[in-house]
Amino acid sequence: MLAQKRILLIIGGGIAAYKSLDLIRKLRERGASVTPVLTKAATEFVTPMSVSALAASKVYQELFDLTDEAEMGHIELSRAADLIVVAPATADLMAKAVAGHANDLASTLLLATDTEILYAPSMNVRMWEHAATQRNVAQLKRDGAALVGPNEGDMACGEFGPGRMSEPLEIVAAIEAKLSDGPLAGRRVLVTSGPTHEPIDPVRYIANRSSGAQGTAIAAALASLGAEVVFVTGPADVPPPDGVHVVKVQSAREMLEAVESSLPVDAAVFAAAVADWRVSNTSSSKMKKGAQGLPELNFVENPDILASVSGHAMRPNLVVGFAAETDDVVENATAKRKRKGCDWIVANDVSPETGIMGGDENAVVLISDRGAETWPRMGKTEVAARLAQNIASAIAD
Ligand code: C5P
């Protein structure tokens, strides 16, 4: 999808710069050409030699390098690209871009360009959460820039939280979404998938048999139409697709939190098999069998993620739920659509004799305000492709 695309990659000075080497490889594997620019600080983390070798390109570093100006001036360099990617985007680089500084090659290119810019922030969690950075991020978005990440996790500095640069494949996905000319280009879509695990004690949990196959196929189909896909998945059997932003969760409550923090999106598809109940009296240490007899588990209801998002202040334009039914599929799913407040319900009959649960095929009925549309039995990837097409038509206008 990136064949012939020209990426100007600005590598900032952060420990995540090593991931940018892999990013260069992944972009080139997909047919893109990469013109690298290193800030002075970046050369403390990666060498111009390795960047140049991986990119098979000259590395640009100095604003006042006359050879570069003779070959390609900084204005031209900033515009001869389909997309400018800043990875890692340090707090300093973003602050400079917001203020309009032009005191080195990277900041000058960001100021001189008329090309879209994608930032992949990377910094310590406190720096990311600082009001100054948050102000700068908001301003960059207002100025028309896009961001991918940062992710939450362990950081090189030993702290934990948001600030880790997105993984190379996630950045590739964001680049593909930006440069795609598919019908969902520029649209952001959320997909939930897989089962949830609800803990009983530190080693035991309650789960269900969802493989995550249908949700994964839907996420892949939406990405192939050019959408930027946020894929919130419980512990599924099938690996997440390439080209999507993956958020891994365990429990229903974690899934709700991940979903809410991914808003706003243009459309959301809730394919996850979320546990209806969780154990309220979980044990912080492993339960033992013994004289006290059988453990007594108490249950509470989990939040309904689909219903919450349907009624959310940042409700997506299109909310799609699933309904796995064993009887009166259309009646039950129609009632569910009303009850949950979503726009569409993809209903299917999961009676054991259909072989759908855990199988490769699905037979669905799409319930919307226009009634029930029965689709012929087909492979789960075909269901996904058709649903993605329907979503594209619905949110394109
Ligand atoms: O009520 P039921 O579980 O049959 O509804 C299924 C739909 O609701 C699916 O789209 C599922 O992803 C979503 N759901 C949810 N949160 C729950 C339960 C179900 O998002 N707690």
Q: Which residues of the chain have pLDDT under 50?
A: none
6-178: which CATH topology? Rossmann fold (3.40.50)
Whole-angstrom Cα distance, residue 375 to residue 362? 9
Range list for CATH 3.40.50.1950 in the chain? 6-178
Range list for CATH 3.40.50.10300 in the chain? 188-395
The residue whose C-alpha atom lies closest to atom 13 belonging to ligand 1 is: 306
The candidate with the shortest Cα–Cα distance to 307, out of 262, 348, 259, is: 259
Which of 197, 253, 315, 322 best tests ligand 1's pocket when mutated (most atoms within 8 Å of CB)? 322
Sheet holding 6-11, edge to edge: 33-38, 6-11, 83-89, 117-121, 146-147
> Cα–Cα distances in Å, from 114 out to 36, 63, 75, 81?
18, 18, 10, 10
Contact assessment for residue 119 and residue 89, using Cβ atoms and an 8 Å cutoff: yes
- Ligand 1 centroid–CA 156 distance in Å is 37
- What confidence score (pLDDT) does residue 66 get? 58
342 an active-site residue? no
DSSP E strands: which ranges in 307-343? Answer: 318-325
Neighbouring CB atoms inside 10 A of 272's CB total: 27
Whole-angstrom Cα distance, residue 274 to residue 236? 12
| Active-site entry in 53, 80, 99, 157 | 157
- Ligand 1 centroid–CA 353 distance in Å is 23
Q: In the block, which residue shows the tokens 């958020």? A: 247
Structure tokens at 76: 């031209």
CATH number of 188-395: 3.40.50.10300
